[in-house]
Amino acid sequence: MSENAIEIYGLTKRYGDLFAVRDLNLKIPHGSVYGLIGPNGAGKTTTLSVLASLLEPTAGRVLVGGFDPSRDAQGVRRKVGYMPDVMGLYENMRVNEYLQFFAAAYRIPAKEWPALIGGLLELVDLTDKGDAFVDGLSRGMKQRLSLARALAHDPEILLLDEPASGLDPHARIELRGLVQELASMGKTVVISSHILPELEEMCTEVAIMEAGALLASGPPKEIGVGTGQTRSVKVRLWGGSEKTFEVADEIEQRDLVRRLVVDEELPVIEVTTIEENLEDLFLRVTKGQRQ
Ligand X SMILES: Nc1ncnc2c1ncn2[C@@H]1O[C@H](COP(=O)(O)OP(=O)(O)OP(=O)(O)O)[C@@H](O)[C@H]1O
By CB under 5 A, name the binding residues for Mg ion. Answer: 44-45, 85
Using rule CB under 6 A, residue 279 touches ligand X: no
**Minimum gap (Å) between residue 35 Cβ and another protein:** 21
Per DSSP, helices labelled H in 201-265 are 250-258
Using rule CB under 6 A, residue 15 touches ligand X: yes
Spatial distance between the Cα atoms of 48 and 64, rounded to a whole number of angstroms: 11
Report what 59 binds from ligand X, another protein, Mg ion, none; CB cut-off 5-8 Å by kind.
Answer: none
Using rule CB under 8 A, residue 132 touches another protein: no
Using rule CB under 6 A, residue 199 touches ligand X: no
Closer to another protein by CB, 20 or 260: give it.
20
Which of 19, 27, 60, 73 is the binder for another protein (CB under 8 A)? 73
Using CB under 6 A as the binding rule, the residues of this chain from 65 to 94 that contact ligand X are 85
**Minimum gap (Å) between residue 106 Cβ and ligand X:** 26
Which neighbouring-strand residues pair with 61? 9
Closer to another protein by CB, 92 or 230: give it.
92
Site string for another protein, 187-226 (x = CB under 8 A): ----------------------------------------
Site string for another protein, 77-96 (x = CB under 8 A): xx-x-x-x-xxxxxxxx---
DSSP assignment of 81-112, as one string? Answer: EEE-SS----TTSBHHHHHHHHHHHTT--GGG
Q: Are 178 and 140 in contact (CB under 8 A)?
A: no
Mention every residue, 6+ apart, whose C-beta is less than 8 A from residue 207: 26, 34, 35, 36, 37, 214, 216, 217
Closer to Mg ion by CB, 85 or 249: give it.
85
Q: Are 44 and 161 in contact (CB under 8 A)?
A: yes
**Minimum gap (Å) between residue 30 Cβ and Mg ion:** 25
Q: Which residues of 160-189 are buried (b: 16+ CB within 10 A; e: fewer)?
A: bbbbbbebeeebbebbbebbeebbeeebbb
Which of 44, 142, 144, 149 is the binder for another protein (CB under 8 A)? 149
Spatial distance between the Cα atoms of 192 and 146, rounded to a whole number of angstroms: 15
Residue nearest Mg ion, CB atom distance? 45
Report what 82 binds from Mg ion, ligand X, another protein, none; CB cut-off 5-8 Å by kind.
Answer: another protein
Spatial distance between the Cα atoms of 247 and 273, rounded to a whole number of angstroms: 10
Using CB under 8 A as the binding rule, the residues of this chain from 105 to 124 that contact another protein are 105-107, 109-110
Using CB under 8 A as the binding rule, the residues of this chain from 2 to 21 that contact another protein are 15
Q: Are 28 and 63 in contact (CB under 8 A)?
A: no
CA distance between the termini of the chain: 36
Using rule CB under 6 A, residue 22 touches ligand X: no
Q: What is the CA radius of gyration of the chain?
A: 20
Contact range with ligand X by CB under 6 A, out of 15-23, 125-133, 215-223, 264-272: 15-23
Using rule CB under 6 A, residue 24 touches ligand X: no
Using rule CB under 6 A, residue 251 touches ligand X: no
71, burial (CB in 10 Å: exposed 0-12, middle 13-18, buried 19+): exposed
Report what 41 binds from ligand X, Mg ion, another protein, none; CB cut-off 5-8 Å by kind.
Answer: ligand X
Three-state secondary-structure class, residue 67? strand
